[in-house]
Amino acid sequence: MLKINNIETWYDLIRALHGISFEVKQGDIVALLGSNGAGKSTTLKTIMRLLYDLKEEQPEKGTIEFMGERIDRKNTDEIVRMGISYVPEGREVFPELSVLENIMMGAYTRRDRKKIKDDIDHVFDHFPILKARKDQEAGHLSGGEQQMLAIGRALMSRPKLLMLDEPSLGLSPLLTRDIFTIIRDINQKDGVTILLVEQNVNMALKYANFAFLMENGRIVRAEKPEILREDEDVKEFYLGIAKETSVKGYQRYRRKVRFR
């Protein structure tokens, strides 16, 4: 469905992505994992062409294909119309608009009013709390409710691929479980492929079908989640379940992934 081939992205003179390549298969939940600054969010923004104002052409090198068609030189609105939706880190709802108005903003590329009404009802099926608060200003919602609203808004464009950047950021463990349950339902019941950036590695590996691990703008591991969950170094440095973390152990891990 989505093919990333050797892309490089720059912030002025700093190269953020060092020729990364990976694929997302239709129907999967794919997790893009790594520490802060690894390049995960930059990858999603590059796919959506949200960085091309920083440099005339981003990515500067490589190609991005969606459903067999190149999208790395298309405008963001064209990419949305093709079937990719993006939920940014931090939700970015319109705080002074109502919940319903925020949801309707997700359908700005559409003209089929009857189907838009049906899709609003479908969003409310996923998120009943939003229906109860549909006339409330989005800025008055809790963090978890705003995350639900951001996902619901993204669904209004009827995406084939939904990209989520840190959906559990700032949420309690209970709300995090709720959000991931909804993400699974969107994938399994609605048939939407998911590309997920997530700091909660344990939760991401629980729900994903496949995972890529990033370090310093590079893909260093590509594995099934069950393999990563049993890797001792991944357990120690990303899942936080080792007895203790040592500097030597971390250096050993970095040396190992650098040459994969």
Full-model pTM: 0.87
The reported pLDDT for the residue numbered 259 is 45
**For residues 199 and 14, what is the distance between their CA atoms, to the nearest angstrom?**
23
If you average pLDDT over residues 18-42, what whole number do you get? Answer: 94
The reported pLDDT for the residue numbered 206 is 94
**In the predicted model, is pLDDT for residue 258 greater than 70?**
no
Q: What is the pLDDT of residues 182-214, one digit of tens each?
A: 999 999 999 999 999 998 899 999 999 999 999
**For residues 65 and 1, what is the distance between their CA atoms, to the nearest angstrom?**
8
CB 139 within 8 A of CB 63: no
The reported pLDDT for the residue numbered 163 is 98
**In the predicted model, is pLDDT for residue 250 greater than 70?**
no
What is each CA distance from 133 to 12, 104, 120, 212, 226, in whole angstroms? 43, 14, 13, 37, 39
3-state DSSP assignment of residue 38: coil
Question: Which helix (DSSP H) or strand (DSSP E) does residue 213 occupy?
Answer: strand 210-215
Q: What is the pLDDT of residues 136-163, one digit of tens each?
A: 999 999 999 999 999 999 999 999 999 9
Query: Which stretches of 133-200 are DSSP H helices?
Result: 143-155, 173-190
If you average pLDDT over residues 6-35, what whole number do you get? Answer: 93
CB 43 within 8 A of CB 20: yes
State the burial class of residue 127 (Cβ atoms within 10 Å of its Cβ: 0-12, 13-18, 19+): buried
Residue 248's CB is within 10 A of a number of other CB atoms, namely 7
The reported pLDDT for the residue numbered 108 is 85
The reported pLDDT for the residue numbered 245 is 47
**For residues 204 and 21, what is the distance between their CA atoms, to the nearest angstrom?**
20
The reported pLDDT for the residue numbered 234 is 81
Q: What is the pLDDT of residues 60-118, one digit of tens each?
A: 889 999 999 999 989 999 999 999 999 998 878 999 999 999 999 999 878 787 899 99
**For residues 212 and 33, what is the distance between their CA atoms, to the nearest angstrom?**
6
The reported pLDDT for the residue numbered 112 is 84
Determine phi and psi for 194, rounding to 5 degrees: -120, 130
What is each CA distance from 237 to 148, 176, 220, in whole angstroms? 29, 21, 14
Determine phi and psi for 145, rounding to 5 degrees: -65, -35
Largest CA distance in the chain: 61
**In the predicted model, is pLDDT for residue 237 greater than 80?**
no
**For residues 168 and 90, what is the distance between their CA atoms, to the nearest angstrom?**
10
